C-alpha cells in the first residue's frame, strides 16, 4: 500500500509502473528498505493487481473510515465551524467495468464517484465510488449520515454546513441534516412551475432594469436581483427557505434557485458569498482527477475499483498536507499536485548507500535546492526548533 500510494503521488498511476519502479532506490527508501539490496525489491505490477482485487467490502469500509478519521486527526483542537462541499465527478470508463452506466448528462459511460471536501482547506474528507447513474436521495443520506456521525463524535459542538448542487436537494438528505443539531445545508434546487410563478415578479423587474440600463452610457454586464420565499415541496417534511437569483445579461436570462436551512443573512449574501464558494471544490476534483489520475478505474471488479479510488485519495491527502503544512510561505504554497511533482519529485538525485547511512547527492545547479532544504527542515526538525527556524 505504501509503495502504490507513493507511486501515484509521484505521477506513476499505472500498476504496471511497479515493474520498473520496484527496483528504484528512492521508492525503496520510502518503503523503509535498503536502496541497493536485491533481496528487498518492492511489489511488481502483478502483485499490485492481486492486492487491489483482494479488497473485500469490509476492507473498503475500513479504509473509507480511516480517510474520514485522518481528516478529523488533522485538527489540533475542535474547530468552531466546518464546511463540507459535496460533488460528483464523472469517471469515464472504456471497458466492461461492472456498474458502469451511460450517463446522459455527461454523454459517456462512466462511474459517478462522490467527493466530500473541506471547503476551507481543500482537505479530502471522503471519496466513494458510485455507479454511473444519478444518485438516489437515500443513497446520499446514507453516506452523509456515516460521515457526519463520525465527525460529530469527535467535534460535538462544531457548527457544520453542508453545501452541494441540485443533485443533493432531496428530502432524505435535507431531512437528515435538519434532524441533526448544529448542522445546516445549502443546496442548489431545480425549478418547477410553482417556483417560476413565485419568481415571476422579481424576474420581470430584472428584465425592466436591464432594458432601462441599455440607454445608459455605462451598460452593466448583468442585472441581478435576489429574493426569497418559504416553499414546501410535496415530498419535503417541512417548508424551507428558497432563494432566488434573477439575472439578466446579454446572453439572456439566468434564473437560479437554492434551498437552505440557514437562518438570517439576506438572499444575495447567502447566494454569492456562501453558496457560490462551493465552486472551489471543482478545482480540488481537478487535482484529484487530472493531476493524480483518480479516474484510472480499469479493474475488472467494482470493489477493486473502489480500493483504487481510495489509494488515489490517499495520494491526494499527502499532497494537500504537504502543501498546507510544509510548503507554506514558499513558491509552491498554492501549487497544484502536477507542479509539485514536476518541481520537487521528478528531479535528478544520486543515491549512495554507506555502512551506517544513506546519502542523497543533488546536482550543484539544482534549481530547488534551497526549497528542498527548507522543506526537509520543516518535516524533520522537532516542533520547537522548526518554529524557531521559521521565525
pLDDT of residue 382: 58
Q: Give the predicted TM-score (pTM) of the model.
A: 0.91
pLDDT of residue 54: 96
pLDDT of residue 135: 85
Q: How many other CB atoms are found less than 10 A from the CB of residue 284?
A: 22
Cell of 164: 452541494
Eight-state DSSP code of residue 27: H
Domain parsing of the chain, residue ranges:
78-300+308-319, 347-391
- The DSSP result for 60-85, as a single string, is HHHHHHHHHHHHHHT-SS--SEEEEE
pLDDT in tens, 199-209: 999 999 999 99
Cell of 98: 461492472
Using CA atoms, how far apart are residues 136 and 163, in angstroms rounded to an integer? 17
pLDDT in tens, the chain (391 residues): 999 999 999 999 999 999 999 999 999 999 999 998 878 899 999 999 999 999 999 999 999 999 999 999 999 999 999 999 999 999 999 888 999 999 998 999 999 999 999 999 999 999 999 999 988 889 999 999 999 999 999 999 999 999 999 889 999 999 999 999 999 999 999 888 899 999 999 999 999 998 888 887 777 888 999 999 999 988 888 999 999 999 999 888 999 999 999 988 899 999 999 999 999 999 999 999 999 999 999 999 999 999 999 999 999 999 999 999 899 999 999 999 999 999 999 999 999 998 889 999 999 889 998 999 899 888 886 554 444 444 3
CATH architecture of 78-300+308-319: Alpha-Beta Complex (3.90)
pLDDT of residue 82: 96
Amino acid at each position: 500500500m505504501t509503495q502504490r500510494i507513493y507511486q501515484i503521488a509521484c505521477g506513476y498511476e499505472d500498476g504496471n509502473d511497479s515493474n520498473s519502479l520496484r527496483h528504484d532506490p528512492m521508492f525503496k527508501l520510502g518503503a523503509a528498505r535498503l536502496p541497493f539490496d536485491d533481496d528487498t525489491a518492492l511489489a511488481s505490477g502483478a502483485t499490485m493487481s492481486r492486492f487491489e482485487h483482494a479488497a473485500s467490502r469490509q476492507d473498503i469500509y475500513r479504509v473509507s473510515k480511516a480517510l474520514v478519521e485522518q481528516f478529523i486527526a488533522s485538527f489540533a483542537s475542535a474547530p468552531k465551524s466546518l464546511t463540507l462541499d459535496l460533488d460528483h465527478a464523472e469517471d469515464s470508463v472504456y471497458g466492461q467495468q461492472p456498474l458502469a452506466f451511460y450517463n446522459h448528462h455527461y454523454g459517456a459511460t462512466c462511474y459517478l464517484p462522490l467527493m466530500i471536501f473541506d471547503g476551507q482547506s481543500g482537505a479530502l474528507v471522503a471519496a466513494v465510488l458510485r455507479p454511473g447513474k444519478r444518485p438516489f436521495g437515500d443513497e446520499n443520506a446514507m453516506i452523509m449520515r456515516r460521515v457526519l456521525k463520525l465527525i460529530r463524535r469527535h467535534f460535538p459542538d462544531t457548527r457544520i454546513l453542508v453545501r452541494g448542487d441540485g443533485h443533493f436537494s432531496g428530502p432524505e438528505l435535507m431531512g437528515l441534516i435538519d434532524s441533526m443539531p448544529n448542522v445546516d445545508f445549502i443546496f442548489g434546487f431545480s425549478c418547477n412551475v410553482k417556483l417560476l410563478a413565485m419568481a415571476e415578479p422579481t424576474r420581470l423587474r430584472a428584465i425592466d432594469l436591464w432594458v432601462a440600463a441599455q440607454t445608459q452610457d455605462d451598460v452593466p454586464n448583468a442585472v441581478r436581483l435576489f429574493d426569497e420565499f418559504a416553499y414546501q415541496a410535496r415530498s419535503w417534511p417541512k417548508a424551507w427557505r428558497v432563494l432566488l437569483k434573477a439575472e439578466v445579461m446579454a446572453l439572456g436570462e439566468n434564473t437560479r434557485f437554492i434551498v437552505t436551512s440557514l437562518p438570517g443573512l439576506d438572499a444575495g449574501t447567502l447566494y454569492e458569498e456562501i453558496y457560490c464558494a462551493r465552486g472551489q471544490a471543482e478545482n480540488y476534483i481537478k487535482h484529484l482527477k487530472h493531476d493524480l489520475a483518480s479516474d484510472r478505474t480499469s479493474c475488472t471488479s467494482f470493489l477493486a475499483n473502489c480500493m483504487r479510488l481510495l489509494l488515489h485519495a490517499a495520494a491526494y491527502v499527502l499532497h494537500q498536507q504537504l502543501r498546507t503544512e510544509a510548503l507554506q510561505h514558499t513558491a509552491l504554497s498554492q501549487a497544484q499536485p502536477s507542479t509539485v511533482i514536476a518541481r520537487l519529485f521528478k528531479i535528478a538525485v544520486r543515491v549512495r548507500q554507506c555502512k551506517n547511512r544513506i546519502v542523497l547527492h543533488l546536482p550543484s545547479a539544482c534549481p530547488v535546492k534551497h526549497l528542498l532544504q527548507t522543506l526537509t527542515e520543516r518535516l524533520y526538525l522537532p516542533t520547537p526548533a522548526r518554529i524557531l527556524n521559521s521565525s
